[in-house]
Copies of this chain bind each other. A is one copy, B any other.
């Protein structure tokens, strides 16, 4: 039984060499300086003569030297590792966050560790071990984990920095990145009102997500500002899932007395609404307008395509990674350095003029 290593290259004898490990010592020798000076150049530390720096950089390039991340994190303070914690939001959301974060991380030589957390199981048991084994430089928290008390506490206890994406409350506790959910929902509602809709239904999102409440509030504010009444039976509770949107729509569209538009506070639920409309032979948008929120890939994967709000997920994740990598700083007592990014209303085919 031999170690199967298509990879270890020369399994058939002395063969061709593996690309030999190049260490900082090799670079030091090649450029005629000490390893410490090489280290300085690599880490952009001050007090290195321009001439010396150039020689070292030339040697690094010539030898294709790459610092070993384990040695780095063992010796120094940084681990060059950023974590992303998530708990099954939609796949589209998750990958978008990852892509946004990685794009920034690559530039700085950081890597991304993804950690799904199952909040129905013991969260402490999942978080604590990974925090102590890998000493990550920071963690990006996605909703609903952005507000999970056990996760936040564990992170703080272990001394690991974190940035929350779209947290629900406790904004002064730690840095965050978010968008103005209330305003976005407000504008979407206005869009429907402008199309002539007066009887608009709303499907609320998962109560554990802070964004749910903000979107709901934006809807209510817009209706009030437009002088329109919101009937109690026109607001349904959902859970951000297709199924919950489907069920809410069945309730909303079940009787003869139907709203002319439904604003679902995320795309998955909006797709559930579309499915019900389809089933009831209601034409979208002539008989019913449907609006979503998020602009997930699914929004375009339906007919008619969904009018929705584009969340800057990619940018939010990138901003979060940035903050973590440069070691978030702030004035004593000042609020955490957080950022509110812009959204965009995406009007497609699922919304149209009110029918009556």
Contacts and interface: CB of A to CB of B under 8 A. Distances in A.
Interface of A: 1-9, 16, 18-19, 22, 64, 66-71, 73-74, 79-80, 90-92, 94-96, 98-99, 102, 106, 109, 111-116, 126, 128-130, 132-135, 155-162, 173-175, 242, 268, 271-272, 274-276, 278-279, 297-298, 300-303, 327-332, 336-337
A303 B278 contact: yes
A113 B116 contact: no
Given A301-B242, A302-B271, A302-B275, A3 B112 contact: no
A133 B68 contact: yes
Contact of A271 (B242, B276, B301): B301
- Copies of the polypeptide in the assembly: 2
A155 B2 contact: no
Contacts of A94: 91, 95
A132 B91 contact: no
B116 A98 contact: yes
Given A99-B116, A271-B302, A161 B5 contact: yes
A74 B66 contact: no
28 contacts: A1-B331, A2-B330, A5-B159, A5-B328, A6-B156, A6-B175, A7-B156, A7-B158, A7-B174, A9-B156, A9-B159, A19-B157, A19-B158, A22-B132, A66-B132, A68-B74, A70-B70, A70-B135, A91-B91, A91-B92, A91-B94, A91-B95, A109-B129, A111-B133, A268-B301, A272-B301, A278-B278, A279-B303
B298 A274 contact: no
Given A3-B329, A19-B159, A111-B134, 16 more contacts: A1-B331, A1-B332, A5-B159, A6-B161, A7-B174, A9-B157, A64-B132, A66-B132, A68-B135, A70-B74, A70-B135, A91-B95, A95-B95, A99-B116, A109-B133, A298-B301
A9 B194 CA distance: 50
B113 A113 contact: yes
B67 A133 contact: yes
Contacts of A5: 159, 161, 328
Given A91-B92, A279-B303, A4 B114 contact: no
A336 B6 contact: yes
A169 to B, nearest CB: 15
